[in-house]
Structure 1
């Protein structure tokens, strides 16, 4: 390279450095996950307070399969949120996406156990299927704002694994929403819980996965630096 070319390159670098905007590093993913979980508790708690906890909720929580079902959904939501903020970073392994699996396995196991006990206790009537659009709609309506918040926070990382990131985020929002809905709406056979709760969660995760790039496009990072 000639001396003139070398000088021109140095001048270009100097101009770019002078015009560069300061960029704040992202806060640790665990801290960001805890912040989002705090928002989720606030939103879900407000909705539950507005509807009121159903009278038989504590009685149901005295039964093992209800305890496992609620704990499984809660654990799934918490682990999925942690996974989303980790898997969105390029320096974290893809294996973080598997973090929610223990909670999800517990949740599905408890629902299966509940279906079995309903069959033993009630016979074929335990598998009576009904329509519960209120339950389905409530999970979706609570999940939407939580999903938008987590997407807005995840877009700061410029996710390199959009499918795993958004699937984890949607799973976190919908699983925690299902926990909240079960506190003010119940009296359903376990099969209906599987269909309506599971259906709402699957719908959100599926749509988020299919539309991941469009959804992240709505929250494209600002050009003039990032906030943590």
Structure 2
């Protein structure tokens, strides 16, 4: 076979390759979707009755900002790791913000213990249901947007996607659900985030490969 004929034969039936969006624009698109979902929830449920009072507390604002930054950083890290030429160190990006959020809640636990002699523990399965209910579809959207990472490193990308979704859902829950005790927030919010992240890490790789 002549070279020209070989080239024509190999070129037949080729489909154009769609370029993957940049990690920053992809993260912005996913965040917009997350904000729309949470906005609908707030519109349906309404803000918690003491939200204005809670936001006057510096500690509360820092904790909310840290949780939101954890979700944003995890989303950016997931889209970065979805590209084969990016360093695995991107997975460390959300850790400082998560540490800030957890340390703020831990300090709140100590404050509650010093002031009231109790941690104010209780059950709140509504928190668990909310974060999982909103975290799972947002995680699925993340997995679909990063499905090209299936053959590369699906587990860390999926886990970061779950963390991004659950942390963002946790922020939305704080706007509509009344929880004063820091220990309850730590247990129920943190536990829900851990469940969604672990589930994404275990099941996400298979889902990403199925989407490709």
TM interval, shorter chain, is: over 0.9
Checking the alignment, whether the CA contact within 8 Å between 1:72 and 1:104 is kept in structure 2 is yes
The answer for the alignment partner of 1:39 in structure 2 is 33
The answer for the alignment partner of 1:4 in structure 2 is none
The answer for the alignment partner of 1:195 in structure 2 is 187
For the residue of structure 2 that corresponds to 1:53, the secondary structure is coil
Residue 46 (structure 1) shift:
0.8
Which residue among 63, 74, 90 is the counterpart of 2:57?
63
The answer for the alignment partner of 1:104 in structure 2 is 98
The answer for the alignment partner of 1:154 in structure 2 is 146
- Tell me which structure has the larger Cα radius of gyration: 1
Bigger Cα displacement from structure 2, 60-69 vs 211-220? 211-220
Q: Do residues 132 (structure 1) and 124 (structure 2) align? A: yes
The answer for the alignment partner of 1:52 in structure 2 is 46
Gaps of 5+ in 2: none
Residue 158 (structure 1) shift:
4.2
For the residue of structure 2 that corresponds to 1:130, the secondary structure is coil
Q: Do residues 26 (structure 1) and 17 (structure 2) align? A: no
The answer for the alignment partner of 2:176 in structure 1 is 184
Which residue among 78, 88, 92 is the counterpart of 2:82?
88
When the two structures are superposed, what TM-score results if normalisation uses the length of structure 2?
0.94
Checking the alignment, whether the CA contact within 8 Å between 2:78 and 2:160 is kept in structure 1 is yes
For the residue of structure 2 that corresponds to 1:129, the secondary structure is coil
Q: Distance in 2 between matches of 1:10 and 1:79?
A: 50
Q: Distance in 2 between matches of 1:38 and 1:137?
A: 22
Aligned residues between the structures? 212
Bigger Cα displacement from structure 2, 187-196 vs 130-139? 187-196
When the two structures are superposed, what TM-score results if normalisation uses the length of structure 1?
0.88
1:34-57 deviations in Å (ceiling 9; x for gaps): 011011111111101110001101
Residue 157 (structure 1) shift:
4.5
Residue 140 (structure 1) shift:
0.7
Q: Do residues 73 (structure 1) and 64 (structure 2) align? A: no
1:51-102 deviations in Å (ceiling 9; x for gaps): 0001101211111221121111000001111110001100111111111112
CA RMSD after TM alignment: 1.5
